[in-house]
Structure 1
């Protein structure tokens, strides 16, 4: 039964096994059965165990037939048995440790678990390169809760690390991934491979009943991966349409699909054909766009499906409060329906804020709750989409804990966190463990899903207490002075990432405590520490940090905006102390906000930072001008970003005391990169109140993003 997985997992758990035996020994002999498939792994264990000790005499290799029992020696056997009905089995007594595994991935993982576990009881071994073991090598058999396990973090993508961790790796395990069939095809691609839509070739999609497509994919698989006859040839291939909703409706495809907007049947036809030709490999479709509908045809045993959880609430337990929600019911329905076709159901899940990789995000408690839910629903694997090749704060501990939970969803998260920090941040373990676990507990208490594209205001208004963060940030900075070696490198990297959050907090708070600047009359003056933090962040590339989000997150662009602000040293705005009222076209109050008169310019590189965003056809902004006299300059700034559908207003009306005094047309804007600016000289003599009306540009999902409403001398 699957719940038997890891009866005794952590050294500090209350395992009651009567046969629990210490791994510590005077010396260790690794036995190999010469000529067997297992010989490779006995030699592999011997080599890597020796590599982790300076005393080479304490580890030896021997043929199993030459075994001689010697007092004070641990005799170790490792055997790969593809007929084993568990992922691994361990039999351990005082003299002998026997390990059986059923596949190469499990064997490699168990080898490194053993090396690390031995090092914990025998200090002659040093394993600074290995994460804390979750096996204690008591006698038991185990099967992982998920067959496919991939936390998509930088730490899992490093050379050889996924094997050490017992994880999958998209770069190593997949022959075709995502919507990338075209990359597998010889160039130039034959026209017969492309879709036909109403009789016309459409190169934005494929024809999945094309014989040439089947032949080209077969040739690609054979040339690059073979037929799967070798034990280490276990590849997966994603056979998915290109990333759009176009569907081929040629005679062959239409006969299968009976539709011009559903490609599920024709894709299933091709996948089944490939699966029959390559029975040792696995082939996957995706429940997405034109293949979201479950095919009516049966699927081969080596065919599975990837289902996205993007609409599923993240970071919370799926209890009675959420079971009735549409997005939960939809995912559950999809899983249940796909179960009628295949047992290979993989989820494309998420564990990051993709608009902010560098601010801490507590994902572990929520992930454990949802892993339990997914396991209960029969999900066979999880791809946990995260920051990928980019660094993210605490990604190392996230990667380690999620790795463990994908093997056993019942492990204690707090214990895993603590043990990781104790191993890799020994001097700072208490500081890091205390702060991070409190983040998790705070967010858990909110019982609110986190946003996959969360803004700074969401971060600071939900789980990231500003004062606690400031204290923690300063403590990490102070500790850098007394930390050494590899721990210093890791801590310094984290500190630089947290400096981004410190700047974000300062920007968010403005002239308030913990903010960016001080208010002096009608000017804001930047604090001296802001420049220090910007310089720290500029140096982050030396620590392998170059981006703060999934797309368009270049830190050099981000810091250049700070440089622009700091270059001026101060920012004048005669409205700094005034209240700005935001109303709709009916004159109804929307809100009162300081976002447009806080003395901080919006970031041209990111709509989350400093922009007031409105999708109203008319946005009315009203404020008092009683304190302003004479001719002044009214300065306005808008974000122009085609990808995110931000456009400057078609025109702006300026009203003073109920009278229209000026209309500013888009033709008069000054365009500068991703911004459009307008500067208007106005005579404020006798003016008591002013209203600005911004008329949104027309178009599908077009939005207005407005920066500071600035009046200067």
Structure 2
């Protein structure tokens, strides 16, 4: 017996030496050969098996050595890389691993990579490949590494990593690469959600139910309308539960299921819904009560809902159920400053605290792109770390950073990389992260690219202007996107391209990043028109002509867009090919002579200050508006447009025409009626034409309404007054409790 005890003690000592004694370095591979085996648990998970295979593949690629993979109950060797929840890993402090975190440690001559949940072990494996073996993965590019016959691992390696947030998504094109996601510990909708986002009509489709059961949908102004669901209707709850039951059977592994309003207003105001909302302080009340009922039916599932728009605030009475996750939107805040400081985010900060006080399951839906112009420079990256730290300090468990999605957007690779690193560990050194990215992704051009990023971020701060997710590259033509600043940025891009001209891969990456600046130049040229920096230049006849080779410039831009995966230029917007066709139409039309060009314009009612364009001059500046209401259109909100144009002297007039924008998605409608008057003295006016427009029927297409007023005979006048009557109220199918109709007019031509 004493001899047996002695033998056991000797074995224990040997084991402790093997797994606890630090060594200066571990020779994982020597001269292309390895004594190590990859050891898995006796019953490995799918993620653990993938981790082992990944490790084996990359060690082989780097060194030429192929390590065997074996389950630990069959392992009899001496040297191992223990992958997953092996019995060896359980001797270490793995109880400190949280969520999908992991432990990465050298123990004696062995290496341990262990996660307890989800993809933790796989995340640890990719971290080992990067930190210990020097592999790199940026964007959709292949993994880079240096081939070498000897692989030495730090014998003191010890890294316990737990994520700052349990849900981490950066929505940019690199996330379409599965390995990129796992490498950078990111997730995506398909990984976690059985049903994502605005889901009401996915659960109760109006095309299936509205005709026979309008009572399932919102009542607005006494009429049932298919904008949202009637949440007090028990049949709606039944249909929702039945629909989710079927979906859950099809996708039993999904962690979250969304029961959320559509991306719009129009909540139900029937007597039963209104009674609940009056008790709860708003329509968020009927929503949370409804979601709680669904969650109570699926007690073993996580039900998510959106705190967004009319459902943003916390109900007065009802608290979210224990398995209800609140996804709170920061959509109303400008992005020039961190959310903890930004004045326009004051209401958002209040909501973060309120929701955190009633729920331990708070996610944030954040935004890091300009939805109206995905390629527009959007220097927001310096706000990311303070934002994530603010989220973490306020109990947020998950973050969805919405970038340009599946289409390429401004600095997509940089944004995705930095977001991923900070979502995993919000305390990382951002300067070092950016420096590493620029050096590794752009090579010799990296220093110039980093200077560009620093320059544009600094110019934004110096301008003092707001960075708007619904802005455009025209609004800041006097600020960080001024032609003078664009010259500075272009010079840096020129130097970056020159530094990489012998490396087609690096050069292509820099040209992709340059798309934002070129897009800005093209868009601003539409705004400037015949002015300096516009696409027009004087001709020999007193008018203007399109600059030579301008279409070729547009075509080069479009070609680069398509090469780099730009599929749409804005959310739900046009493709690069459609953009080129739009330019072809503009160029084909050329310059249109206008007696009112640069005439003095006086307005009776003020235009919308948020979209000033060229102020009153917008109506006579020589350039027309296009499908984006935020520039080249003069907008009027809730008030008629009454524009008086002084031609300077009496002119012979035969025709007056203009365009109005019809864009119901943004609550912009053609006028109810238009009246044109003329005068010789500016006091006595004669009505020369009128037109009444039909009541708008439901549609969501964006169109230009060209309106022509030919005069019966040639008339002489110095003054032209155009009165465009705005709709008195929003149509029922585009109801909003606060918004009013907006009217947008562009160039008024007097001929």
Q: Which TM-score band (shorter chain)?
A: 0.7 to 0.9
Structure 2 residue aligned with 1:422? 439
Structure 2 residue aligned with 1:11? none
Contact 1:195 1:248 in 2 (8 A): no
Give the C-alpha shift of residue 691 in structure 1. 4.0
Verify: 1:212 aligned to 2:233, yes or no.
Answer: no
In the alignment, which of 693, 696, 701 is matched to residue 722 of structure 2? 693
- d(CA) in 1 for partners of 2:545, 2:223: 63
Contact 2:327 2:365 in 1 (8 A): yes
Contact 1:30 1:62 in 2 (8 A): yes
In structure 2, relative to structure 1, the CA distance for the partners of 1:121 and 1:489 (3 Å cut) is closer
1:426-575 to structure 2, matched below 5 A, reads 426-446=443-463, 448-470=465-487, 472-473=489-490, 476=493, 479=497, 482=501, 484-496=503-515, 498-520=517-539, 522-539=542-559, 540-575=561-596
Contact 2:307 2:328 in 1 (8 A): yes
Verify: 1:704 aligned to 2:743, yes or no.
Answer: yes
In the alignment, which of 389, 402, 407 is matched to residue 372 of structure 1? 389
Verify: 1:619 aligned to 2:625, yes or no.
Answer: no
CA deviation map 1:87-123 (0-9, x unaligned): 2223236843322223223332222222233442899
In the alignment, which of 639, 646, 649 is matched to residue 661 of structure 2? 639
Once the two structures are overlaid, the 10-residue window that deviates more, 22-31 or 328-337, is 22-31
Structure 2 residue aligned with 1:607? 629
Give the C-alpha shift of residue 252 in structure 1. 12
- d(CA) in 2 for partners of 1:458, 1:24: 57
Structure 2 residue aligned with 1:302? 323
Contact 1:268 1:295 in 2 (8 A): no
Give the C-alpha shift of residue 31 in structure 1. 2.7
In structure 2, relative to structure 1, the CA distance for the partners of 1:492 and 1:49 (3 Å cut) is farther
In structure 2, relative to structure 1, the CA distance for the partners of 1:109 and 1:514 (3 Å cut) is farther
1:36-47 to structure 2, matched below 5 A, reads 36-37=43-44, 41=48, 44-47=51-54
Structure 2 residue aligned with 1:400? 417
Give the C-alpha shift of residue 559 in structure 1. 2.8
Structure 2 unaligned blocks of 5 or more: 1-21, 146-152, 697-701, 730-739
Give the C-alpha shift of residue 503 in structure 1. 0.5
Give the C-alpha shift of residue 138 in structure 1. 4.4
Once the two structures are overlaid, the 10-residue window that deviates more, 395-404 or 141-150, is 141-150
Structure 2 residue aligned with 1:580? 600
SS class of match (1:414): helix
Give the C-alpha shift of residue 273 in structure 1. 1.5
Give the C-alpha shift of residue 426 in structure 1. 1.8
- d(CA) in 2 for partners of 1:544, 1:158: 13
Structure 1 residue aligned with 2:4? none
Structure 2 residue aligned with 1:356? 373
In structure 2, relative to structure 1, the CA distance for the partners of 1:275 and 1:122 (3 Å cut) is closer
Contact 1:601 1:707 in 2 (8 A): yes
Q: TM-score, length-normalised on structure 1?
A: 0.80
Verify: 1:267 aligned to 2:275, yes or no.
Answer: no
Contact 1:511 1:518 in 2 (8 A): yes
Structure 2 residue aligned with 1:129? 142
Contact 1:597 1:709 in 2 (8 A): yes
Give the C-alpha shift of residue 427 in structure 1. 4.0
- d(CA) in 2 for partners of 1:122, 1:502: 34
Structure 2 residue aligned with 1:381? 398
SS class of match (2:142): coil
Contact 1:522 1:572 in 2 (8 A): no
Contact 1:581 1:622 in 2 (8 A): yes
CA deviation map 1:487-514 (0-9, x unaligned): 3443444445543222112223333443
- d(CA) in 2 for partners of 1:438, 1:19: 46
Give the C-alpha shift of residue 43 in structure 1. 5.7
Verify: 1:675 aligned to 2:705, yes or no.
Answer: yes
In structure 2, relative to structure 1, the CA distance for the partners of 1:131 and 1:406 (3 Å cut) is farther
Contact 2:97 2:103 in 1 (8 A): no
Give the C-alpha shift of residue 595 in structure 1. 2.7
In structure 2, relative to structure 1, the CA distance for the partners of 1:524 and 1:77 (3 Å cut) is same
Q: TM-score, length-normalised on structure 2?
A: 0.76
In structure 2, relative to structure 1, the CA distance for the partners of 1:554 and 1:666 (3 Å cut) is farther
In structure 2, relative to structure 1, the CA distance for the partners of 1:505 and 1:95 (3 Å cut) is farther
In structure 2, relative to structure 1, the CA distance for the partners of 1:695 and 1:597 (3 Å cut) is closer
- d(CA) in 1 for partners of 2:577, 2:453: 28
Give the C-alpha shift of residue 435 in structure 1. 0.7
Structure 2 residue aligned with 1:9? none
Contact 2:29 2:63 in 1 (8 A): no
Aligned-pair RMSD on alpha carbons? 4.4
SS class of match (1:383): strand
1:38-57 to structure 2, matched below 5 A, reads 41=48, 44-51=51-58, 53-54=60-61, 57=64
Structure 2 residue aligned with 1:171? 190
Structure 1 unaligned blocks of 5 or more: 1-17, 227-232
Verify: 1:285 aligned to 2:315, yes or no.
Answer: no
In structure 2, relative to structure 1, the CA distance for the partners of 1:164 and 1:334 (3 Å cut) is same
- d(CA) in 2 for partners of 1:691, 1:286: 50
Structure 1 residue aligned with 2:362? 345
In structure 2, relative to structure 1, the CA distance for the partners of 1:477 and 1:543 (3 Å cut) is farther
CA deviation map 1:642-698 (0-9, x unaligned): 4332324522222332232443212599x995222325468676x6x4242323323
Contact 2:40 2:84 in 1 (8 A): no
Structure 2 residue aligned with 1:58? 65
1:4-403 to structure 2, matched below 5 A, reads 26=30, 29-37=36-44, 41=48, 44-51=51-58, 53-54=60-61, 57-63=64-70, 64=72, 66=75, 68=77, 75=81, 77-79=83-85, 83-86=95-98, 87-92=101-106, 95-120=109-134, 129-130=142-143, 138-180=157-199, 182-183=201-202, 195=216, 205=229, 207=231, 212-213=238-239, 215-217=241-243, 219-226=245-252, 233=253, 235-241=255-261, 245-247=266-268, 261=283, 262-264=285-287, 266-276=289-299, 278=300, 281-288=301-308, 289=310, 292-294=313-315, 296=317, 299-318=320-339, 322=342, 328-403=345-420
Once the two structures are overlaid, the 10-residue window that deviates more, 47-56 or 494-503, is 47-56
In structure 2, relative to structure 1, the CA distance for the partners of 1:302 and 1:594 (3 Å cut) is same
In the alignment, which of 681, 685, 710 is matched to residue 660 of structure 1? 685
Give the C-alpha shift of residue 45 in structure 1. 3.3
Give the C-alpha shift of residue 402 in structure 1. 1.1
In structure 2, relative to structure 1, the CA distance for the partners of 1:317 and 1:265 (3 Å cut) is closer
In structure 2, relative to structure 1, the CA distance for the partners of 1:467 and 1:221 (3 Å cut) is same
Structure 2 residue aligned with 1:3? none
SS class of match (2:744): strand
- d(CA) in 2 for partners of 1:252, 1:625: 59
In structure 2, relative to structure 1, the CA distance for the partners of 1:517 and 1:113 (3 Å cut) is same
Give the C-alpha shift of residue 25 in structure 1. 5.3
Give the C-alpha shift of residue 58 in structure 1. 2.2
Structure 1 residue aligned with 2:734? none
- d(CA) in 2 for partners of 1:194, 1:679: 45
SS class of match (1:58): coil
SS class of match (1:613): strand
SS class of match (1:695): strand
Once the two structures are overlaid, the 10-residue window that deviates more, 556-565 or 185-194, is 185-194
CA deviation map 1:47-67 (0-9, x unaligned): 454257546642412545646
- d(CA) in 1 for partners of 2:143, 2:484: 35
CA deviation map 1:520-549 (0-9, x unaligned): 463122212421222124433354323211
Structure 2 residue aligned with 1:230? none
- d(CA) in 2 for partners of 1:35, 1:491: 48
Give the C-alpha shift of residue 592 in structure 1. 6.0
In structure 2, relative to structure 1, the CA distance for the partners of 1:629 and 1:143 (3 Å cut) is same
CA deviation map 1:542-600 (0-9, x unaligned): 54323211133344443333212322454433444x4533332599x998654333332
Structure 2 residue aligned with 1:598? 621
- d(CA) in 1 for partners of 2:478, 2:224: 52
CA deviation map 1:385-414 (0-9, x unaligned): 222122212111111111112122232333
